[in-house]
Structure 1
Amino acid sequence: MSFNSDSELEVKVRKASERISENMHIVANEPSLAFYRLQEHVRKALNPMVDRKIEANKLHQELQGRCYDIEYAVCAIKSMDNADESFKNIQDHLKNAIFLKQQLKYEESRRKKNDPSSVYKRLSAHITLDLPDLPEFSDVVRETANRVESMMSKATHSAN
């Protein structure tokens, strides 16, 4: 039994030694394999990560610029709130100006239809007379023209 037990013990010791040796080999080589895998991963992932970091920085700068633009626009809009009364005044003045323009246009159209002096003025503008210098005659013409103009103006005022 001792021979048999010695061979069994020897087999068991040999198996244990092989396992210990195998484990020692794995443990000894495992860090280098891990470093190899890390190096491989870093080599594959580093360039895209750097590109993403650059892109993220660029986007951050653009976003910051847009935030400044938005702040500027908000300040401009807030300052426009104070101009509300000025815009209302401008609007009122424009309404008044349009109303007055319409009134003037209406009055002008009424005068053109009812104003007989306009016919006289148009007629006198086209008539040119070469009268000799007669002092008595020119006084009579001037007086007659004044009387006609005063009658026309009275008629115009009474029509209004």
Structure 2
Amino acid sequence: MGRLLFQNVTDTFTERISVLANEPSVALYWLQEHVRRSLPELARHKAAMQRWEAQSQGAIYTADYDRSAVKKLVDSSVYFRSVEGLLKQAISIRDHMNASAQGHR
């Protein structure tokens, strides 16, 4: 009889502990503990990601600006060819004028 009573008491105690351990407020407590412990690390990761994002945006802006400058140089090649033609024309006129001046002497 004593053994059966002891078995009943231990079973009841185990059941009550199990109910208490699975109580929603206990789960919330452990969730809160997890958040409290992991939040500083998450905040550090967030700050690092924000710094990386700012650096990336700066690099993207710089690359875009450089690409735009190169495109403008390529687009201006028409003007460089025009200037080159005008310079050749001016040199030709100068040479013609020099030759004419030499002929009159």
Q: TM-score interval w.r.t. the shorter chain?
A: 0.5 to 0.7
- Looking at structure 2, the residues matched to 22 and 72 of structure 1 have their Cα atoms a distance apart, in angstroms, of 71
Q: Per-residue deviation at 1:81?
A: 9.2
Counting only pairs closer than 5 Å after superposition, residues 103-142 of structure 1 correspond to structure 2 as none
Query: Which of the pair has the greater relative contact order for Cα pairs under 8 Å at 6+ separation?
Result: 1
- Looking at structure 2, the residues matched to 43 and 60 of structure 1 have their Cα atoms a distance apart, in angstroms, of 25
2:72 corresponds in structure 1 to 72
The one-letter code of the counterpart of 2:66 is: R
2:22 corresponds in structure 1 to 23
TM-score, normalised via structure 1 length: 0.43
Greater Rg by CA: 1
Q: Per-residue deviation at 1:13?
A: 1.6
2:102 corresponds in structure 1 to none
Q: Per-residue deviation at 1:68?
A: 0.6
Counting only pairs closer than 5 Å after superposition, residues 81-92 of structure 1 correspond to structure 2 as 86=85, 90=88
Q: Per-residue deviation at 1:72?
A: 0.7
- The percent identity for this pair of structures is 6
Q: Per-residue deviation at 1:80?
A: 6.3
1:56 corresponds in structure 2 to 56
Q: How many residues align?
A: 91
Q: Deviations over 1:94-138 (max 9, x none)?
A: 7xx7xxx9xxxxxxxxxxxxxxxxxxxxxxxxxxxxxxxxxxxxx
